[in-house]
Structure 1
Amino acid sequence: GGAGAGGGAELSLEQILRTAVGARYFKEFSEQIYCPEMIFFYLEVEDYLLLPGEEYMARFARKIARKYIQADARLQVNISHRMRDSILAKLEGNGAGADRALFKEAQAEVLHMMEKDTLPKFRQSKHYEEFLAYLAARRRSALRHQQMSKTTRRRRSSHGFGNRMTDALAGLGVAAGGVPPLSPAHARR
């Protein structure tokens, strides 16, 4: 098994994670190789960034910190002590430091580690082959749909009085519901 199933350039990790299906395949693979904490952290930060208000953000940020950042975190991610201390300091007290930038640096570091370590292994896995097959099937389906739509539009335009009338008017230079433009010959009359 290998990366050849896609028949093109390798997908970046961000491209893979941008789709729900890609994220699921990458997450399943990470669990299988016993390092799910990085992808879990990355995806939870993505969810955090979508939260509507600061109150929700503070609560969710503390949950992320307990789960991934604190020294005794169950799924601790491997980030620098400086970064860890900075995040925890911003969350002390009422969590007022919980803004959209709170986990930005840590998330970028985790993404970089996954690109270096997990992604090359993922690209050699059955999970990646299945994801590429899924993408290829979606592309084929979209192309079929596009071709069917063109055929249907052609068929519709060759049938039915409304379309023939629209076509005839268009031949006269009439936009839908409009009046034909005056040609120089009409203007002289």
Structure 2
Amino acid sequence: RDLSVPLSWKSLRSVNSVKDWKTRLSYFLQNSSTSRKTKPKKKGKQHAYFRPSPEEAQLWSEAFDELLTNKYGLAAFRAFLKSEFCEENIDFWLACEDFKKTKSPQKLTSKAKKIFNDFIEKEAPKEINIDFQTKNLIAQNIQEANHTCFSAAQKRVYSLMENNSYPRFLESEFYQELCKKSLITKEPQGT
């Protein structure tokens, strides 16, 4: 414990931490290609996304996949990983999910090389933490890219997030705040 910082300052930092989370999440929701931003529909209607209810947020604690399949949850988890300086894990996982949906062989090859350059090779800008053997296997597999060339690495990163980052996310102040029910007090009506 740092005794040079007054206790009230630490409390203030905690409050600022939650505000910082909200700011980051708002940014991700507005700027992420996977976020729930307002998107125009074919008939000109807009599809707006809102903060989840406490009940919806609590569902995320039931299974890691519940969190990943909810766009707000995914954005919140990404913001959490960014605060822990490990957002490359979710970025890699999402890139692999997109890669597996690719139909064109030419696009498959170019996406494989991009994923390799961004996440796998030594000193990559978003290098993920995987073992040397898996990296070598991927390097060999992308020469003739197929939908499974990143499967082993994706499973390892998923497992890492599920077993390490996800439990910390569920304990975070930000997630706990999302799960709180707002207290609405009813004022007595005048007669």
> Which of structure 1's runs of 4+ aligned residues deviate more than 3 A?
5-9, 129-133
1:32 corresponds to which of 73, 83, 88 = 83
Structure 1 position 11 matched with structure 2 position 62: yes
Would you say the 8 A contact 1:22–1:131 is kept in 2? no
**Unaligned residue ranges in structure 1 (runs of 5+):** 137-189
Give how far 1:13 is off: 1.6
CA separation in 2, counterparts of 1:108 and 1:55? 25
2:128 corresponds to which of 38, 54, 77 = 77
RMSD: 2.5
TM (normalized to structure 2)?
0.60
Structure 1 position 64 matched with structure 2 position 115: yes
CA separation in 1, counterparts of 2:133 and 2:59? 40
CA separation in 1, counterparts of 2:166 and 2:112? 26
User: Which structure's residues are more often helix, by fraction?
Assistant: 1
Deviations 1:12-38 (CA, angstroms, capped at 9, x unpaired)? 222211122221111111001111111
1:86 corresponds to which of 137, 161, 164 = 137
Q: How many residues align?
A: 128
**Unaligned residue ranges in structure 2 (runs of 5+):** 1-53, 182-191
Would you say the 8 A contact 1:21–1:131 is kept in 2? no
Residues 9 and 64 of structure 1, relative CA distance in 2, 3 Å threshold: closer
Give how far 1:115 is off: 1.4
CA separation in 2, counterparts of 1:15 and 1:9? 5
User: Higher relative contact order by CA 8 Å / sep ≥ 6: 1 or 2?
Assistant: 1
TM (normalized to structure 1)?
0.60
The residue that corresponds to 1:46 in the other structure is 97
Secondary structure of the residue that 1:100 maps to in structure 2? coil
Would you say the 8 A contact 2:138–2:149 is kept in 1? yes
Residues 38 and 59 of structure 1, relative CA distance in 2, 3 Å threshold: same
1:100 corresponds to which of 137, 147, 154 = 147
Residues 62 and 9 of structure 1, relative CA distance in 2, 3 Å threshold: closer
